[in-house]
Chains A and B, each alone.
Chain A
Amino acid sequence: MRSNLGFFSDEKFRSIFFQTLVVGLFALGLFFIISTTSYNLEKRNIATGWSFLQNPAGFDISFSPFLEFKSTDTHLKVYFVGVLNTLLVSITGCIAATILGFILGIVRLSSNWLLSRLVYIYVEFSRNVPLLLQIILWYSILIQLPRVKQSLQVLDVFYISNRGLYSPRPIFESGFSYVLIAIVLALISSFLINRWAKKRQDKTGQQFPVLSSSIGLIFIVPLILFFILGSPLSFEHPELKGFNFKGGLVIRPEFIAMFLALSIYTAAFISEIVRAGIMSVSKGQREASAAIGLKQTWIMRLIIIPQALRVIVPPLTSQYLNLTKNSSLGIAVGYADLVHGFGGISLNQTGQAIECMAIVMATYLSISLTISFFMNIYNRSIQFKEK
């Protein structure tokens, strides 16, 4: 008895004992869940396995801007269409939310009472109303737009109705690829110019008009080439034929509702993060830079923002993750994302809930980890480098 207790009073032994116990219980629990599930699946004759991915889906997806989808395609293709639609709304949403969030965060700190109050109201409203309600609100507004036969016409080429926004679709003719190559070359060379100008400024203090020369390179050179090649670009205009517009590009109200709700909601959080970041830079920094005669815009761009970013980026990453995961709410308005198409319709038509959900969860996990990975690299690059 005594020797037993002696063992237990050994701190090292005790900690190993309890850690083993916790891991063991966890493994036991996991085993229990898995074995019960497979037992019940078998008992109820519910089909399992992955072969359903190769079966034809049998239903149509109307919103698939990147892949052509027919009802004879497989469930696997439903999955890819879903992933692309999820990425589309997440990426555009993150970009819009970041731009809007930065502007609002800076405006909130402005000395203009009216502006800063307005942003305050916006932030408090949009981050305190559930996102789902905002998505449904936007959608309800959008389907109250005029019907397709009474579409609003803007600038003779855009049509707005409750079926979406129709615009002309660009058609690239032969020769346009040279213009694209010119744009890529221009981008690369302006990047190189930027590096060279920085080095020269570090050495000699002389500045080079990087911005205006880059704009010139990226826009004017390809434009001249475009006209030399005889404008190899035409547009296909949408036309009202029968029930709907035919041709042209269309942005669906489901997408617009998701995009607006996600970016407006997340921008409210980002603006607060930006405000916190800017306020974390000590007042002395601003005063010192003013004292050496920097312009107001330069103070913001060269002194305040780089330091604020160190505070901003880590919470910004989690906002990106939130936005991506929140895009799964698209199911509320029938936006054909991953959860709606593969995790919803395919799941229901095949009945293989566990497999479908496992794939959907693994996909969200991979997307989130990828975002974190790149944001962490960016975060490291802006951290204060100790010499």
Chain B
Amino acid sequence: MKKLLSIFAVVAFAFSAHAGTLDDVKNRGFLKCGVTTGLAGFAAPDDSGEWAGLDADMCRAVAVAVFGDRSKVEFITTTGKSRFPTLASGEVDMLARNTTWTISRDVNLGFEFVGVNFYDGQGFMVPSALGVSSATELDGATVCIQTGTTTELNLADFFRLNGISYEALPIETNDEGKENLFAGRCDVYTTDASGLSSTRAAAPNPNKWLVLPEIISKEPLGPLVRHGDHQWGDVVRWSLNAMIIAEELGVTSENVDAQKSSNVPEVLRLLGVEGNYGEMLELSNDWAYQIIKQIGNYSESYEANVGPDTPLEIARGLNALWTQGGILYAPPFR
């Protein structure tokens, strides 16, 4: 009887009381990171089958912080609908999946957004042959929309506010949206402007598609974790902040070794030469150095994945540093 009771107690413990996520990840030996089903520039497999993109870099940065190795990530694809249950159930340790930070998700769904890695806004894309130059001319149009997203709610609000009608065609993934738009089943595709650029870049003939000038919402996209595990939340938050601070301080993957002998105190703290910030996070002291060395700073990741020289051609805009006209701003590293 005693034995039975103790087995029961162990099982109950395993079900109800989780150890910290950081310990779970360390014990497992790799990070499970939830990403999109494929959105070029943010998270999509590249020519060699490796996941690449701004969000993929976010996942890798956290893996580097924990293990010092950018390959210790398992990418798990999630749809707009499956992402939250996947995170809540512990199937993934974090999401870096073009997810908009809203109050209801932060409070009601039991998650914690740790920062913003891309400031976005919802836009519309139409075939240029449609002859539309503004979203307010879209009365009666059929609109392809990913279900379970904030864009779905913004869309309803926008058309209601402007007193025009539309027909929604609900779709699950970006690929389905592309297929329906290219076949003419819908006139307009709406999602975050970055997603539109990505879709346009993947079209057989990008010049045939036009992204309308209206941006109808604020979409701060960022990584999120389960609410309540603050230690793990801090690890993800500061992995992102480290990349932004590195850009601010001019530390890049190329000059990071030389910067170790810099005379700027914050650079030395960031690279783990001074202070014991790694220890506070229960990471190695050179965690931020490794992120910059292996992934690069925010600017490097941005330029390589979504910047003006990539097929997505998204200018820095809001995503420039606060010192350069944008709103990207990280708390001080001290």
Query: Footprint of B on A, CB under 8 Å?
Result: 32, 36, 39-40, 43-47, 58-62, 71-72, 143-144, 147-148, 162-163, 241-244, 246, 253, 331, 334, 336, 340, 344-345, 347-351, 353
User: Which of A46, A71, A143, A242 touches B156 (beta carbons < 8 Å)?
Assistant: A71
Decide if B110 touches A45 in the complex (CB within 8 Å): yes
Q: Please give me the residue from chain B that is nearest to A28 by CB atom.
A: B8
Decide if B152 touches A345 in the complex (CB within 8 Å): yes
**A45-B110, A47-B108, A143-B180 known; A348 vs B166 contact (CB < 8 Å):** no
Decide if A46 touches B153 in the complex (CB within 8 Å): no
A-B complex: 7 closest residue pairs judged by Cβ atoms: A348-B148, A71-B156, A147-B184, A44-B110, A351-B109, A46-B110, A243-B141
Decide if B88 touches A44 in the complex (CB within 8 Å): yes
Decide if A344 touches B168 in the complex (CB within 8 Å): no
9 contacts between A and B (CB under 8 A): A39-B16, A44-B226, A45-B228, A61-B168, A244-B167, A246-B140, A336-B170, A348-B148, A349-B153
| Cα-based distance from A246 to B167 in the complex (angstroms) | 12
Tell me the B150-186 residues at the A interface (CB within 8 Å): 152-153, 155-157, 160, 166-172, 179-180, 183-185
User: Which of A47, A162, A336, A348 touches B184 (beta carbons < 8 Å)?
Assistant: A162
Decide if A60 touches B110 in the complex (CB within 8 Å): no
User: Which of A46, A162, A331, A345 touches B185 (beta carbons < 8 Å)?
Assistant: A162
**A162-B185, A241-B140 known; A62 vs B168 contact (CB < 8 Å):** yes
Q: Using Cβ atoms and an 8 Å threshold, which residues of chain B touch A144?
A: 183
| Cα-based distance from A46 to B85 in the complex (angstroms) | 11
Decide if B110 touches A36 in the complex (CB within 8 Å): no
A60-B156, A344-B81 are known contacts; what are 5 more A-B pairs with Cβ within 8 Å? A36-B15, A46-B88, A58-B152, A59-B156, A243-B141
Query: Footprint of A on B, CB under 8 Å?
Result: 12, 15-16, 80-81, 84-85, 88, 104-105, 107-110, 130, 138-142, 147-148, 152-153, 155-157, 160, 166-172, 179-180, 183-185, 187, 226-228
Decide if B183 touches A143 in the complex (CB within 8 Å): yes
Of the listed residues B105, B110, B180, the one surrounded by the most CB atoms of chain A closer than 10 A to its CB is B110
**A59-B168, A243-B138 known; A348 vs B185 contact (CB < 8 Å):** no
Q: Please give me the residue from chain A that is nearest to B84 by CB atom.
A: A351
Decide if B184 touches A71 in the complex (CB within 8 Å): no
Decide if A59 touches B109 in the complex (CB within 8 Å): no
**A44-B227, A162-B185, A334-B170 known; A243 vs B81 contact (CB < 8 Å):** no
Q: Please give me the residue from chain A that is nearest to B83 by CB atom.
A: A348
Chain A: minimal CB distance from B5 (Å) = 13
Of the listed residues B84, B141, B153, B184, the one surrounded by the most CB atoms of chain A closer than 10 A to its CB is B184
Decide if A45 touches B84 in the complex (CB within 8 Å): no
Q: Using Cβ atoms and an 8 Å threshold, which residues of chain B touch A162?
A: 183-185
Decide if A243 touches B84 in the complex (CB within 8 Å): no
Decide if B187 touches A243 in the complex (CB within 8 Å): yes
Decide if B108 touches A351 in the complex (CB within 8 Å): yes
| Cα-based distance from A348 to B84 in the complex (angstroms) | 8
Decide if A163 touches B185 in the complex (CB within 8 Å): yes
Chain A: minimal CB distance from B276 (Å) = 31
| Cα-based distance from A36 to B12 in the complex (angstroms) | 8
Chain B: minimal CB distance from A134 (Å) = 18
Q: Please give me the residue from chain A that is nearest to B105 by CB atom.
A: A351
Chain B: minimal CB distance from A67 (Å) = 16
Q: Please give me the residue from chain B that is nearest to A150 by CB atom.
A: B184
Q: Using Cβ atoms and an 8 Å threshold, which residues of chain A touch B160?
A: 71-72
Decide if B81 touches A348 in the complex (CB within 8 Å): yes
Chain A: minimal CB distance from B296 (Å) = 34
Q: Using Cβ atoms and an 8 Å threshold, which residues of chain A touch B183?
A: 143-144, 162
User: Which of B12, B153, B172 touches A59 (beta carbons < 8 Å)?
Assistant: B153
Q: Please give me the residue from chain A that is nearest to B85 by CB atom.
A: A353
| Cα-based distance from A200 to B223 in the complex (angstroms) | 80
Decide if B167 touches A253 in the complex (CB within 8 Å): no
Decide if B228 touches A60 in the complex (CB within 8 Å): no
| Cα-based distance from A122 to B166 in the complex (angstroms) | 40
User: Which of B16, B147, B157 touches A40 (beta carbons < 8 Å)?
Assistant: B16
| Cα-based distance from A122 to B226 in the complex (angstroms) | 51
Decide if B142 touches A344 in the complex (CB within 8 Å): no
Q: Please give me the residue from chain B that is nearest to A254 by CB atom.
A: B169
| Cα-based distance from A173 to B104 in the complex (angstroms) | 48
Q: Using Cβ atoms and an 8 Å threshold, which residues of chain B touch A60?
A: 155-156, 166, 168
Q: Please give me the residue from chain A that is nearest to B153 by CB atom.
A: A58
Decide if B171 touches A163 in the complex (CB within 8 Å): no
Q: Using Cβ atoms and an 8 Å threshold, which residues of chain A touch B88?
A: 44, 46
Chain B: minimal CB distance from A300 (Å) = 45
Q: Using Cβ atoms and an 8 Å threshold, which residues of chain B touch A44?
A: 88, 110, 226-228
Decide if B147 touches A46 in the complex (CB within 8 Å): no
Chain B: minimal CB distance from A223 (Å) = 37
Decide if B142 touches A163 in the complex (CB within 8 Å): yes
Decide if A62 touches B167 in the complex (CB within 8 Å): yes
Q: Please give me the residue from chain A that is nearest to B180 by CB atom.
A: A143
Decide if B138 touches A58 in the complex (CB within 8 Å): no
Q: Using Cβ atoms and an 8 Å threshold, which residues of chain A touch B105?
A: 351
Decide if B227 touches A148 in the complex (CB within 8 Å): no
Q: Using Cβ atoms and an 8 Å threshold, which residues of chain B touch A46?
A: 88, 108-110
**A58-B153, A62-B169 known; A349 vs B148 contact (CB < 8 Å):** yes
| Cα-based distance from A244 to B166 in the complex (angstroms) | 10
Q: Please give me the residue from chain B that is nearest to A39 by CB atom.
A: B16
| Cα-based distance from A387 to B12 in the complex (angstroms) | 61
Q: Please give me the residue from chain A that is nearest to B149 by CB atom.
A: A348
Chain A: minimal CB distance from B122 (Å) = 14
Chain A: minimal CB distance from B157 (Å) = 8
| Cα-based distance from A350 to B81 in the complex (angstroms) | 11
Of the listed residues B172, B179, B185, the one surrounded by the most CB atoms of chain A closer than 10 A to its CB is B185
Q: Please give me the residue from chain B that is nearest to A253 by CB atom.
A: B185
Chain A: minimal CB distance from B331 (Å) = 24
**A40-B16, A143-B180, A147-B184 known; A334 vs B169 contact (CB < 8 Å):** yes
